[in-house]
Structure formats: C-alpha cells, structure tokens
Amino acid sequence: MSRDRAALGAFLRSRRDRLTPAQAGIEAFPGARRVPGLRREELAVLAGLSPDYYSRLEQGRQANISDEVLDALARALRLDEVEQAHLRDLAAPTVRHRAATPHAVQRADPGLLRLMRTLDHVPVLLIGHRGEVLARNALLTEVLGRPLEPGTSFVRFMFQDSVARERILNWADFASATVATMRRETARRPYDTRLTALVDELRATDGDVARWWDDHTVRDYASVNKRIQHPAAGPMAFDIEIVCAPHEPDQRLIVYTTEPSSSTARVLPILASWNTAPHL
C-alpha cells in the first residue's frame, strides 16, 4: 500500500470510529461490536457502496475513486468542508505528484510585507506553507520572547522551544491546531519531502504531536485566540487573524489583534519602545 493510500485508509477509519450508528441515523447491525463507531458494512450501506468496495478503499487497494463515491462518503461520515477537501486530496491519483522543488526558498510577498509594515502597533508574523518564518515585526519578537529570524521554523519554535510552552498559556489549544493544519498541508503536498521529514521528526520526538497526529483531526489556518504570559508586561490576550494574498496562497500574514481599550492594547506601545528589531 502506498503512503498516500495508507493515509486515506487511516483517515476513513478515524472518521468511521467517531460516528455511532445512532448518530448516523441507522439501526446498529446485529452481533458483537469490536469498533467504537460504525462498522465497515454499516458505512458501506450508508454511502450506497458494496461492503467489498468500501473494504478495498479502507485497505488502500482501490486505485481510482470517483467524485460520486467521495461525495457519498463525505455525506455518510458527516465531514465538514475542511475534512471533505482533505478526503479529496488523499484520494487523488498517486500519479498527481508533480515535479517539485521542495528545497526552493520561499520569498516574502512584497504586498504582504507592505501590509505588515503598516501594522507595527501589533505583533505580526509572515509564514510560508511549512511554517517557515518569512518576516516578522519587532513586537512579535518581544511578545513571544524569541527573535524568530526569517528562515527559522515557527513550528519548531512551538514544539521544541520551552519558551513557547511557558509564554503561551493556551499552548495545547494552539499547538494541537498547528498539528491539524500540518496534517492538512501534507495531504495537499505529498511531494514535499521537507514537510514530511519535519512531521516525522516531531512525531518521533514529541508525544503530544504523535497523539494529536494519530487522531486525524484536520483544519485549515483559522483565527484563534492566544493568551500570553509576558515576564514584564503580565498576561496578554490576542485574537489571531490571518490574511492571505489571492496570488500567494502559500503565505499567510498572522496578525495579533487586540481590543482597543484592553490592557493588552495599552501595554503594547510600551513593549514596542523596548524592542527595535528589524522587520527582516
């Protein structure tokens, strides 16, 4: 079984396990149950497939999968939009792997850089699709406590730097979302060997990553809340907003926004006066 088809089978099993017959709106098939959710046969009936055909899908023995079958599985498993897109990426023909240049260096988009420079009053980070830092402003380094130079990995900072766990009070929420986003990216880019190697390394060295990876949760980059404990400024609260340029979908400008009258907004100018780190 190819790595792609193994990932497809694992994802289908994980989504099947989380859905009980009652939740799916069917009567449970008779007999002893060995799975927490739907049996293969139950899902096959829900999706209008033969049990043998569905077994081939889950075991990675079905090379080509039609859009109609994927739609039926998505409905039966009650997948959300991100999960549906993930399913389609995993089910795409394995020959889709285009000639890629995984070692090519991403360059920060000039338009996103200009936008970042207008936002010096809040922390801002520009990252590439592997979570690589492309640019950041001075407040970002002050708030997170690390220089995060361009070319470094924000993902490695999250999981391998003790400062991240110390400063980000809701680290587990933010870190688990990072893992779910990385899973989504690996399905989009199965040819990216650097991304795959990063995931494999983190899974092997970090128990949290391994556990979150194995639950097969997927998500796209989304706005989240981040709570910071700054050693001098005290507790800070940010809503994280993400900006993408239509012509540069692989880069994301991550903006730490604040309520205008909040204590965080009041302390940011003071932090800005302490740090004069350059943007790039």
Given a cut of 50, is residue 212 above it in pLDDT? yes
> For residue 3, what pLDDT is reported?
56
Long-range contacts of 113-120 (CB under 8 A, 24+ apart): 113/279, 113/280, 115/243, 115/253, 116/253, 116/279, 117/279, 119/255, 120/272
Given a cut of 90, is residue 274 above it in pLDDT? no
Given a cut of 80, is residue 2 above it in pLDDT? no
> For residue 5, what pLDDT is reported?
78
What is the radius of gyration, based on Cα positions, of the chain? 22
> For residue 246, what pLDDT is reported?
83
Given a cut of 90, is residue 176 above it in pLDDT? yes
Confidence band (pLDDT; 50, 70, 90) for 43? very high
Q: Which residue has the higher pLDDT, 271 or 224?
A: 271
The answer to whether the CB of 248 falls within 8 A of the CB of 109 is yes
Work out the percent of the chain whose per-residue pLDDT is above 90: 74
Given a cut of 60, is residue 276 above it in pLDDT? no
Given a cut of 60, is residue 110 above it in pLDDT? yes
Give first-to-last CA distance, the chain, whole Å: 44
The answer to whether the CB of 42 falls within 8 A of the CB of 21 is yes
- How many helices (H) and strands (E) are present in the chain, helices listed first? 14, 5
Region 9-32: mean pLDDT is 91
> For residue 252, what pLDDT is reported?
93
Q: Going from the N-terminus, what domains does the chain have, and what CATH number goes with each? A: 3-96 (1.10.260.40), 110-275 (3.30.450.180)
Tens of pLDDT, residues 111-130: 999 999 999 999 999 999 89
Quote the CA–CA distance of 91 and 66 in Å, as a whole number.
9
Confidence band (pLDDT; 50, 70, 90) for 191? confident
Work out the percent of the chain whose per-residue pLDDT is above 70: 92
> For residue 207, what pLDDT is reported?
96
Region 38-42: mean pLDDT is 93
> For residue 279, what pLDDT is reported?
47
What is the chain's percent helix, strand, coil content, to nearest 5? 50, 15, 35
Q: Which residue has the higher pLDDT, 3 or 36?
A: 36
The runs of H, that is alpha helices, within 48-129 are 51-58, 67-77, 81-91, 110-117
Given a cut of 90, is residue 180 above it in pLDDT? yes
